Amino acid sequence: MTIRRLPETIVNRIAAGEVIERPASAVKELVENAVDAGARRIDVVLRDGGRTLIAVTDDGCGMSPDELSLAVERHATSKLPDDDLTHIGTLGFRGEALPSIGSVSRLSIASRPAGADGWEIRVEGGKVTPPQPAGLTGGTRVEVRDLFFATPARLKFLKAERTEMDHAVDAVQRLAMAHPEIAFSIGDGERTRFSCEVEGALAGDDETRLRRLAAVMGREFAENALTISAVRDGVRLTGHAGLPTLNRNTTRHQYLFVNGRPVRDRLLTGAVRGAYQDFLARGRHPLVALFVEIAPELVDVNVHPAKAEVRFRDPGVVRGLIVGGLRHALAEAGHRASTSVADAALGAFRPGGGNRGLPPMPSGYRGGTVPTQLAEAAAAYYAPHAEARGESLPGLDAAPSTAAAPVAPLPADEAAQAYPLGAAQAQVHETYIVAQTGDGLVIVDQHAAHERLVYERMKSALENGGVARQGLLLPEVVELEDAAASALAARADELAELGLVLEAFGTGAVVVREVPALLGQADVAGLVRDLADDLVELGGAHALKERLDDVCSTMACHGSVRAGRRLNREEMNALLREMEVTPHSGQCNHGRPTYVELKIADIERLFGRR
On whether residue 246 sits in a domain, the answer given is: yes
Asked if residue 392 and residue 311 are part of one domain, the reply reads: no
Task: Give the per-residue pLDDT at 366.
Answer: 35
Asked if residue 563 and residue 429 are part of one domain, the reply reads: yes
Task: Give the per-residue pLDDT at 380.
Answer: 47
Asked if residue 216 and residue 184 are part of one domain, the reply reads: no
pLDDT at 365 over 50: no
377 falls in which pLDDT band (50, 70, 90)?
Answer: very low
End-to-end CA distance of the chain: 86
Rounded to the nearest 10 degrees, what angle do helices 266-276 and 315-333 cross at? 30
Query: Is the pTM for the entire model greater than 0.85?
Result: no
Amino acid (one-letter) located at 306? A
Task: Give the per-residue pLDDT at 334.
Answer: 65
Task: Tell me the C-alpha distance between 170 and 543, whole Å.
Answer: 39
Q: What percent of the chain has pLDDT over 90?
A: 31
Identify which has the larger pLDDT, 150 or 361: 150
Q: What is the pLDDT of residues 183-212, one digit of tens each?
A: 999 999 899 999 999 875 444 577 888 999
Asked if residue 257 and residue 389 are part of one domain, the reply reads: no
The structural domain count of the chain equals 3
Where a domain ends, among 333, 358, 385?
333
On whether residue 307 sits in a domain, the answer given is: yes
Residue 205 phi/psi, 5° resolution?
A: -60, 140
Task: Give the per-residue pLDDT at 108.
Answer: 96
On whether residue 363 sits in a domain, the answer given is: no
Q: What is the pLDDT averaged over residues 371-390?
A: 42
Q: What percent of the chain has pLDDT over 70?
A: 72
On whether residue 186 sits in a domain, the answer given is: yes
Q: What is the pLDDT averaged over residues 158-174?
A: 93
If you ran DSSP here, which 8-state letter would residue 308 be given? -
Task: Tell me the C-alpha distance between 495 and 481, whole Å.
Answer: 19
pLDDT at 352 over 60: no
Q: Which of 246-255, 384-393, 447-456, 504-513 is the least confident region?
A: 384-393
Asked if residue 306 and residue 221 are part of one domain, the reply reads: yes
Three-state secondary structure along 530-573?
A: HHHHHHHHHCCCCCHHHHHHHHHHHHHHHHCCCCCCCCCHHHHH
Q: What is the pLDDT of residues 530-588, one digit of tens each?
A: 888 777 765 544 445 445 555 666 666 665 666 667 888 888 988 898 888 887 788 77
Q: How many CB atoms lie within 10 A of CB 81?
A: 8
Asked if residue 78 and residue 191 are part of one domain, the reply reads: yes
Where a domain ends, among 161, 195, 229?
195
Task: Tell me the C-alpha distance between 235 and 298, whole Å.
Answer: 9
Residues 6+ apart with CB under 8 A from 223: 339, 366
On whether residue 347 sits in a domain, the answer given is: no
On whether residue 353 sits in a domain, the answer given is: no
Helix and strand totals (H; E) in the chain? 20, 24
User: What does the radius of gyration of the chain's CA atoms come to, in whole angstroms?
Assistant: 30
Q: What is the pLDDT averaged over residues 143-172?
A: 91
Task: Give the per-residue pLDDT at 80.
Answer: 55
Q: What is the pLDDT of residues 493-515, one digit of tens each?
A: 888 887 889 999 988 899 999 98
Asked if residue 383 and residue 326 are part of one domain, the reply reads: no
SS3 category, 518? helix
Q: What is the pLDDT of residues 45-83, one digit of tens each?
A: 999 999 999 999 999 999 999 999 988 887 666 655 555
CATH number where 220 lies: 3.30.230.10
Asked if residue 229 and residue 140 are part of one domain, the reply reads: no
CATH number where 145 lies: 3.30.565.10
- Where do the DSSP E strands lie in 367-508? 423-428, 432-437, 440-445, 469-479, 501-504
Asked if residue 236 and residue 114 are part of one domain, the reply reads: no
pLDDT at 410 over 60: no
Asked if residue 322 and residue 429 are part of one domain, the reply reads: no
Where a domain ends, among 306, 333, 360?
333
Is residue 69 within 8 Å of residue 95, measured between CB atoms? no
Supply the range of the domain harboring residue 589. 372-610
Three-state secondary structure along 364-408?
A: CCCCCCCCCCHHHHHHHHHHHHHHHHCCCCCCCCCCCCCCCCCCC
Please state whether beta strands 41-47 and 595-599 pair in parallel, antiparallel, or not at all (unpaired). Answer: unpaired
On whether residue 218 sits in a domain, the answer given is: yes
Buried b / exposed e over 197-236, threshold 16 CB at 10 Å, is ebeeeeeeeeebbbbbbbbbbeebbbbbbbebebeeeebe
Asked if residue 152 and residue 257 are part of one domain, the reply reads: no
Identify which has the larger pLDDT, 39 or 395: 39
On whether residue 362 sits in a domain, the answer given is: no
Residue 155 phi/psi, 5° resolution?
A: -60, -35
Task: Give the per-residue pLDDT at 293.
Answer: 93
DSSP per-residue codes, 270-301: HHHHHHHTTTS-TT-EE-EEEEEE--GGGEE-
Instruction: Provide the residue count of the chain.
Output: 610
Task: Tell me the C-alpha distance between 552 and 211, whole Å.
Answer: 38
pLDDT at 406 over 60: no
CATH number where 496 lies: 3.30.1370.100
Asked if residue 395 and residue 493 are part of one domain, the reply reads: yes
